[in-house]
Amino acid sequence: MNKLNIFTCCNNEYRNFIPIFILSNLYHNKDSFVEICTDSLSDIDIKNSLHYLYSLYPNKFLVHKVSFGEIIPNTVRFITTPKLKTDYVYISDIDIITLEGGICELHLEHMKNENIPYSNIVRPYKDNQGYKRLTGLHFTPYDNYYPIPNYNDLISGNTYTRNFDEAFLYELVKKRFNNINEKTQWRPVHGIHVSPNRQPSTDGADWQMNKWEREWGEFRNSKEFLGLEPLLTNYIKEKILIIDRFYEDNNL
């Protein structure tokens, strides 16, 4: 029984992350399902990767096409209803290599402790650029988010110029829960965030590799990972090499 659907959408170069996103989530959270929506698979060679993953995890993931339309791509995951209905949905970023298990239990405990209907945080005021934003990692009971409320007013009345997706999510959730908790501060990233928009290792926002050395080593050397690695695109192999070198150069 799949209790949790780990759900995301991607396009362009982010499609390269699809195989490692599937493996890292299912390796660490075997009671979950992974669903990925994408604009196309025609120009990314991941067919052999998906065949290999299906041999490991049959009927545990789904990759399918969805229209990205005119909306900002990062927002598509918030307005798309998963094909598989589960008790809970974790809307995630495709470029996170998950290295932690028990995701569902961790977020449910947090919701219980904070008495909140979802698990996420409102970004600190200094980061909000004049409007309130929920972060892009959103854990929710299925029935607390779907069916998605009408959002035409958010699209037509959009005055956001940056991070529209997070501001959009805040306003969308507010349609269901007017009193959004702005005090809770727990919002983990359950692994290495291999963002093309960040430097791998800096004093600011980076890939957050410092805390995952042991977990990366275990996952990196697993038979599942080693079987997938030759099938990954060169784009992802380059990211793996960066992570490997980081841990070689830093005895954390």
Would 132 be classed as within a structural domain? yes
Would 233 be classed as within a structural domain? no
pLDDT at position 204 is 64
Euclidean distance between the first and the last CA atom of the chain, given in angstroms as a whole number: 38
The CATH number assigned to the domain holding 43 equals 3.90.550.10
Would 12 be classed as within a structural domain? yes
Domain extent for 167: 4-197
Instruction: Decide if 92 contacts 6 (C-beta within 8 A).
Output: yes
Would 207 be classed as within a structural domain? no
Measure the CA–CA gap between 107 and 140, rounded to whole angstroms.
9
Measure the CA–CA gap between 90 and 71, rounded to whole angstroms.
21
Would 71 be classed as within a structural domain? yes
Sign of CA dihedral 242, 244, 248, 250: positive
- Nearest to residue 142, comparing CAs of 74, 184, 60, 83? 83
pLDDT at position 65 is 95
pTM: predicted TM-score of the whole model, two decimal places:
0.94
pLDDT at position 157 is 61
> pLDDT by residue for the chain (252 residues), tens digit each?
689 999 999 999 999 999 999 999 999 999 999 999 999 888 778 999 999 999 999 999 999 999 998 788 899 999 999 999 999 999 999 999 999 999 999 999 999 999 999 999 998 866 556 788 999 999 999 999 999 999 988 887 665 555 689 999 999 999 999 989 999 999 999 999 999 888 898 766 689 999 999 999 999 999 999 999 999 999 999 999 999 999 998 865
Instruction: Decide if 139 contacts 119 (C-beta within 8 A).
Output: yes
Would 146 be classed as within a structural domain? yes
Buried b (16+ CB within 10 A) or exposed e, 202-216: eeeebbbbeebbebb
Structural domain count of the chain: 1
Measure the CA–CA gap between 87 and 108, rounded to whole angstroms.
11
Would 250 be classed as within a structural domain? no
Would 57 be classed as within a structural domain? yes
Structure-token pair, residue 2: 């799949």
